[in-house]
Amino acid sequence: MTEREACFQFKPDAEHINALPKPLHQYIHQLETRADPSGDIQTIASQAEQVRGLTALLNEYRETLRDIVLSLRGLRGISQEEALDAIEGKIRSVLDQS
């Protein structure tokens, strides 16, 4: 990325900040260092993003599990082996979609 692209298409991420002209890049880096010397704010923000992502994934898995349970309720009256095969098939189909 050129300095020109970094200036006109600016996003506050490392790639764009690092591509800015050196004095501006150093100024932003110094601001960051003074505002969050130990990196706590950045760590908290990163962890919050991870929590949101994991929560979304957990909700997706809960919904998938609910769908599997609902579909398996119709398997009454079959042998244990057939039920286990059906469960394994459902789990494999979910994993293949991931």
pLDDT in tens, 46-59: 999 999 999 999 99
- Biggest CA pair distance of the chain: 75
SS3 of 23, please? helix
Provide the residue type at 56 as one letter: A
Q: Yes or no: say if 6 and 22 are a contact pair by the CB < 8 Å rule.
A: no
**Tens-place pLDDT, residues 20-72:** 889 888 888 888 788 877 878 888 989 999 999 999 999 988 888 888 777 77
Does the structure show a pLDDT above 90 at 92? no
Whole-angstrom CA distances from 74 to 9, 61, 63, 68, 81 are 56, 21, 18, 11, 15
